Structure 1
Amino acid sequence: MEILIIAVAGLLVIAAGNQLAPRVGVASPLLLLALGAGVGFLPFVSAIELDPDIVLEVVLPPLLFSTAVSMPVMDFRRELRAVAALAVGLVAVSATIIGLVVHAVMPTIALPWAIALGAVLSPTDAVAITVARGSGVSQRIITILEGEGLFNDATALILLSSATAAGIAHSADALQPAALVSGFLTSLALALAIGWAVGEGSIRVRSRITNPTADTVVSFTIPFLASLPTDYLGGSGLVAAVVAGLVISFRRPRLLPPAHRQTAQQNWRTIELILEGGIFLFMGLQAYGIVQDVVDGGFGLRAAVLLAAGTGALAVLVRVAFVAPLLVWLRRVRRRHRQHLEEERQRLERFETRLEQARDIDDELLAKHGLSAEQWHQAVTGWRDRLERGQRRQRRRGADLDYFTADPLGPREGAVIVWAGMRGAVTLAAAQTLPLTTPNRPFLLLVALLVASGSLVIQGLTLGGVIRLVRPRMASRTADDAERERLLRLLGDAATSRHADALTPAEARELAIETIRVQRHALLDARDEGLFSSSSLEYALERLDAKEILLTTAE
């Protein structure tokens, strides 16, 4: 009964927090964090400690899966370089630098445990990005931040595991670069393989389910079907859940009926609201217990606060030093790609010219080479298919370059990427996985809590001011409207061959549904070539889905 009362109270607090947040001008995660901390410090509330396995194995897989399903795969593919650099390179660099500085400042913390703390503090939180999502910045920034938050947990947890093993063994052998790289690649390979297999298999199974509610129930199992076996085999279960989500995000518009997608999306939004709100609420509730452990152990609150402030500031400085050259490198890559695209265009033009000439070859020349007209026709058809594939690839690369050119990342955007990279509940959950025998464990937990909560509060509350100060490129409503008009014309062209002359109402309805499906295929083909922005594609897809649902539910 007590657990049920707590659960009901928690749900009501989460709902109230999300309702009140816009009115007080604070993001709901920050409000729930403050509410949790306030309740936790009440004298009649006992200390609360949430099992970290619940966060890492129960809460985070569906949360990250839901975020991945909602992420446009086209945008993620385009930002893969930036995401990989931040999720792997920045985490490794941050963990190492923070660990070295912590060990130098507090020699009583051995280097392996200092690096373990650095690994805990390094990754940003994909859930915490909800603070930045409503700020109006460009979709490129949101995609990079979300992608980083989805994948950097794997790097951090591998570093944490290796540092913990080194600390227990009193040896730094587990922190050798070769061992870390090998462990990371093995973990990533397992996650990619299992995540892809689960995503591809589950979407095919769901395509055969006729009941939208049953389909939604199956979707609830997917993040765990991906994460549990991956964790058991030694891979990153969180990354596996993310990969499964990305596969489903890409495949579901072609394979799942609109009613299934809409039902699943609505239910997943509710699940996401509960889990996201709960994780920040419990993060605040645990504050009292962690502080009390530090006081009881005589570790010193002042030292923890000072170390948290120093490491938090250091993490931001390292992020600045990493993001600045990263943006320069990305601009150089874009220039090289523009040059390669022009070279490829010229090669395709030469190939097309030779192909046109090949059509006019005479029978005498064919006989000289021992070829029949049928064989030559098959060869020309194969070359034509090859040319069309090359032209599609060139159109997609050209669309990618247009995407980068229309929304470049300069110093202003880099400042937002730096400041919006907040720590969150993953930091505290990862810190709580430290063994109970870890030296100064309560002290390290408090530092992790202070850095995570301080990052959320300070960066979250000031992000809007930073955006107004640096004035980055914002999402353009005018450009979106113009693109949507072009997209609607594309849909109109796809439907021009469908006529409804002299049809019964039932036949007209079936023809209308078939027309919508033809339009959807044209829309998804345009998506695969990157011809429109993800926001415009989503807008058009939602319109088509609404029309089809209306027609299929009509009497």
Structure 2
Amino acid sequence: MDQMPQLMALFAGSLLVTALARRWGLSEPLTLVVVGLVVSYVPWLPDYQLDPEVVLMLILPPLLYTAALGSSSAGIRANLRPIGLLAFGLVLFSTLVGGLIAWWLVPGMSLGVALVLGAVVAPPDAVAATSIGRRLGLPRRIMTVLSGESLVNDATALTAYRVAVAAVVGTGYSLLSGAGMFLLAAVGGLLVGLAAGWIVHRVRSLMGDGMLESALGLLVPFAVYLLGEQIHASGVLAVVVAGLYLGKRTPEADAATRLQDRAVWKSADTLLEALVFALIGLQLRTVVDGVGDRLGQLVVAGFALTAGLVLARGLWVWTTLYLPSRLSGKQEPKPWQHVFVVSWAGMRGVVSLAAASAIPVTTEAGAAFPSRDAVQFLAFFATLATLLLHGLTLPWVIRKLGVRGRESYTDALAEAEASHAAARAAQDRLAELTEESEPPAGVTDRLRRVSEHRTNRAWERLGRSADEVGESPTEAYRRLLIEMLAAERDVFVRYRDEHRIDDEVLRRVMHELDLEELALRQA
């Protein structure tokens, strides 16, 4: 309870910085990190220690789960090769490169400890990269590859981290047992995620209560993660697989459940992402104080480690994703600009800091874990350096190379065709129903107009912009109806204030008006 005021202040401050960054058009992750760095040296503020258990059990699972819910399983399957090469191959390659650099440059650091550090800093966190890419309109394939990489690479890195830590602390891990741990983590995580997703989907379909379905959904990422970890599988991979399974079956849920789930998880995402990047910045004073008079030496090693990680990602991406398609001639080579953007999106995140903080204090023999402070400092340095380097330059790189998505027209055309077919099916169904029983006068015509309006709205997106031809009929209809809804809302509020209707009546009517306005604004 003593830490509750600090926690509430951290949440409130993170949201305030996020709101200001959005208002000023700044990158939210970078703004939060920079503000956290400054705040960490304010004398009268308390230290915010990064608790690895909180990050790995309470923050990481819901962030991965919501990302998986919103991902395209078809897109991931179509890009399985590049995602696998990045999420598995690149993580292990980066672990080796980072470990060898640290072993070579940090006096007294053994190869085993250096490989622990390599595993800690190996996985990029694509939250910042995807937020920049979404804002600048990156092609969907690049977004799918980056998102897919970020969903799986934490599982690979954390498994490599456990193997390396076990070897250092003396629990007798061999190369063969490490490979077995990897296999158990991957297969176990996959099976746990599929089983949990299947069970949750069946249970939710039997509930028939949107509120209870959403409440159950809130438990899924935490329960699935814990279940995976309990059987020594990858809890991270289990959460991702469960999220992909349930995300694909979202259309089978009740409409109220979908609305509630979307609102709840978007709010949770905003809060947790703000907290994560604020915590990264707030660790500066703690890790600097931990290394004492070795600061200068470790800063040099930190620059070398960061450069090595950046070069390792570039080398891996170009040799595994670009050259094979260019040399084989069996498929159209990927545009080099797209490959460069993927190679430059290597920002590290809070998982690296949490893993570094979770390193045991002592070995099995009771001795202090060697070079623990140096590992934590270098992990923080690499995380901060890559966030600032890539975060500040990635928007410029995307604009300079002209990497833009071209999916807007094809999406609009596909939507218009689907809307046309859907409207035809709806009107056929309406004709069947009206043959069975004639509705009151005017109802049929009104329903037909609603269906036609929805179809026209989709086709209008294929035409010229409003700047060229002026406001379309659908846009005028939407704008005027939103104003009419606002006028209705004002009347109901006035009646409540005059005690002519009860608050419960107002809430019910406001909910109906809000749903109608939300549908109009989403359109």
Output the amino acid matched with 1:234: H
Indicate if the aligned counterparts of 1:415 and 1:470 stay in contact, CA closer than 8 A: no
In structure 1, give the amino acid aligned to 2:235: G
- Say whether 1:409 aligns with 2:334: yes
8 A Cα contact 1:83 1:147, kept in partner: yes
Structure 1 residues 61-70 or 492-501, which shifts more? Answer: 492-501
1:241-260 to structure 2, matched below 5 A, reads: 241-253=239-251, 255-260=252-257
Partners of 1:35 and 1:284 lie apart in 2 by 7
Residue 474 of structure 1 aligns with which residue?
Answer: 405
The code of the aligned residue for 2:360 comes to P
The SS at the match of 2:243 is helix
Which residue in 2 is equivalent to 1:95? Answer: 95
Specify whether residues 506 and 148 from structure 1 end up closer, same or farther in structure 2 by C-alpha distance, changes over 3 A only.
farther
Partner of 1:34: 34
The residue type equivalent to 1:504 in the other structure is P
Quick one: distance in 2 between partners of 1:507 and 1:198? 48
Please say if 1:420 is aligned against 2:345: yes
Identity %: 32
Aligned partners of 2:253 and 2:409: how far apart in 1? 32
2-side partners of 1:133 and 1:92: how far apart? 28
CA contact (8 A) 2:101 2:304 kept: no
Equivalent pair of 1:188/1:239 in contact (CA under 8 Å): yes
Paired position in structure 2 for 1:402: none
Q: Which has the higher mean CA deviation after the structures are superposed, 8-17 or 60-69?
A: 8-17
Give the AA of the match of 1:252. T
Correspondence for 1:457: 388
Of residues 99-108 and 236-245 in structure 1, the stretch that sits farther from structure 2 once superposed is 99-108
Please name the residue that 1:160 is paired with. Answer: 161
RMSD: 3.1
SS at 1:498 equivalent: helix
Q: Does 1:503 align with 2:497?
A: no
2:244 matches 1:235: no
Letter paired with 2:108:
T
Q: Which runs of 4+ in 1 moved over 4 A?
A: 332-336, 505-509
Number of aligned residue pairs? 446
SS at structure 2 position matched to 1:134: helix
For residues 217-266 of structure 1, the C-alpha deviation after alignment (integer angstroms, 9 at most, x for no partner) is 1111001221101101111111111111000011121x201221111110
Structure 2 distance, partners of 1:5, 1:54, is 17
Aligned to 1:434: 359
Once residues 278 and 116 of structure 2 are traced to their aligned partners in structure 1, the CA distance between those partners, rounded to angstroms, is: 25
Contact 1:83–1:144 (CA under 8 A) maintained in structure 2: yes
For residue 148 of structure 1, report the CA deviation from its aligned partner: 0.6
Task: Between 142-151 and 319-328, report the one with greater CA deviation.
Answer: 319-328
In the alignment, what sits opposite 2:218?
220
Runs of at least 5 residues in structure 2 that lack an aligned partner in the other structure = 362-367, 455-511
Partner of 1:187: 185
1:449-507 per-residue CA deviation (whole Å, 9 max, x = no partner) reads 11111111121111111112222243443333333222323323443532334632599
Letter in structure 1 aligned against 2:215: V
SS at match of 1:207: helix
Is contact 2:49-2:283 (8 Å) kept?
A: yes
Distance 1:237 1:29 in 2: 25
**From 303, 309, 313, the counterpart of 1:309:** 303
Quote the residue 1:137 is aligned against. 138
Q: One-letter code of the match for 2:339?
A: G
Q: Is the alpha carbon distance of 1:110 and 1:316 closer, same or farther for their aligned partners in structure 2, counting shifts above 3 Å?
A: same
CA distance in 1, matches of 2:379, 2:132: 20
Aligned residue identity for 1:105: L
Aligned pairs for 1:352-391 within 5 A:
none
Q: Which residue of 187, 206, 220 corresponds with 1:208?
A: 206
Amino acid of the structure 1 residue aligned with 2:349: G
Q: Secondary structure at the match of 2:428?
A: coil
Which whole-Å deviations, capped at 9, do the CAs of 1:342-386 have from their partners, x for residues lacking one?
xxxxxxxxxxxxxxxxxxxxxxxxxxxxxxxxxxxxxxxxxxxxx
Task: Give 2:473's aligned residue.
Answer: none
Q: Which residue of 1 aligns with 2:280?
A: 283
Alpha carbons of structure 1 residues 506 and 57: separation in structure 2 relative to 1, 3 Å: farther
Counterpart secondary structure, 1:208? helix
Helix, strand or coil at the partner of 1:113: helix
Aligned-partner Cα distance in 2 for 1:331–1:488: 37
Instruction: Check conservation: 1:119, 1:159, Cα contact below 8 A.
Output: yes
Give the superposition deviation at 1:26: 2.4
Pair 471,45 (structure 1): closer, same or farther in 2 beyond 3 Å: same
CA distance in 1, matches of 2:219, 2:352: 25
SS in 1 for 2:288: helix
SS in 2 for 1:293: helix
Whether contact under 8 Å (2:95, 2:119) holds in the other structure is yes
In 1, distance between residues paired with 2:328 and 2:234? 31
Greater displacement, 472-481 / 282-291: 472-481
User: Which segment drifts farther, 39-48 or 468-477?
Assistant: 468-477
- Decide whether aligned partners of structure 1 residues 206 and 229 sit closer, same or farther in structure 2, where only a CA change above 3 A counts: same
Distance 1:495 1:16, change over 3 A: same
Distance of 2:38 and 2:76 partners within structure 1 = 38
1:62-77 equivalence runs, <5 A: 62-77=62-77
Cα distance change on mapping 1:458 and 1:208 into 2, 3 Å: same
Unaligned runs of 5+ in 1: 339-404, 520-545
Measure the CA separation in 1 of the matches of 2:424 and 2:318: 44
Q: Output the CA distance in 2 between the equivalents of 1:428 and 1:236.
A: 19
Distance between the aligned counterparts of 1:304 and 1:503, measured in 2?
81
The Cα offsets for residues 186-238 of structure 1, whole Å up to 9 and x where unpaired, read as: 11111111111111111121122333222211111001221101101111111
Shift of 1:31: 1.3
Q: Are the aligned partners of 2:136 and 2:404 in contact in 1 as well (CA < 8 Å)? A: no
Give the Å deviation of 1:279. 1.4
SS in 2 for 1:435: coil
